[in-house]
């Protein structure tokens, strides 16, 4: 009897995990559609480093959303070591505290 109960609990948990994964993917796909609507006006000039930083932050946010907040998986999606992702997150956190 305990074996059946355990199998049912595991099956229910598995279904819930699958549903949460599908929801996370849906949210990530919707979030990725909110990309920039236009290119910067180069005739007025831009700050290339700031544009690159913003793009990097958006990629990191998207990877974290797809990975369900798991930094190791997000780092793998981005093709960078987890330590690099962690350092970038800390750097962005510090710079946002300055404003």
Q: For 68-84, what is the mean pLDDT?
A: 94
**Are 22 and 66 found together in one domain?**
no
Is a pLDDT exceeding 50 seen at residue 49? yes
CATH number of the domain within which 90 lies: 1.10.10.60
Closest CA to 74 of 85, 89, 58, 90: 85
pLDDT in tens, 22-31: 777 777 666 6
**Are 17 and 47 found together in one domain?**
no
Which residue segment(s) compose the domain that 72 sits in?
42-99
0.75 cut: is pTM over it? no
**Are 57 and 90 found together in one domain?**
yes
DSSP 5-48: HHHHHHHHHHHHHHHHHHHHHHHHHHHHTT--SS---GGG---H
Contacts 24+ apart (CB under 8 A), 49-58: 56/88, 57/92
Question: Residues with Cβ < 8 Å from 86, sequence gap 6 or more?
Answer: 71
Indicate the helix (H) or strand (E) that contains 70.
none
Helix axes 48-66, 71-78, angle to 10 degrees: 120
- Mean of per-residue pLDDT scores for the chain: 80
Name the more confident of 74 and 31: 74
Residues belonging to the chain:
99
Instruction: State the pLDDT at residue 5.
Output: 45
Is a pLDDT exceeding 70 seen at residue 38? no
């Amino acid at each position: 009897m305990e074996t059946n109960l355990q199998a049912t609990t595991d099956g229910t948990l598995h279904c819930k995990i699958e549903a949460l994964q599908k929801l996370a993917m849906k949210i990530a796909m919707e979030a990725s559609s909110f990309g920039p609507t236009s290119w910067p006006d180069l005739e007025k000039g831009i700050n290339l480093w700031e544009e690159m930083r913003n793009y990097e932050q958006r990629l990191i946010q998207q990877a974290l959303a797809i990975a369900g907040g798991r930094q190791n998986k997000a780092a793998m999606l981005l093709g960078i070591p987890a330590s690099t992702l962690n350092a970038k997150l800390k750097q962005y956190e510090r710079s946002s505290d300055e404003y």
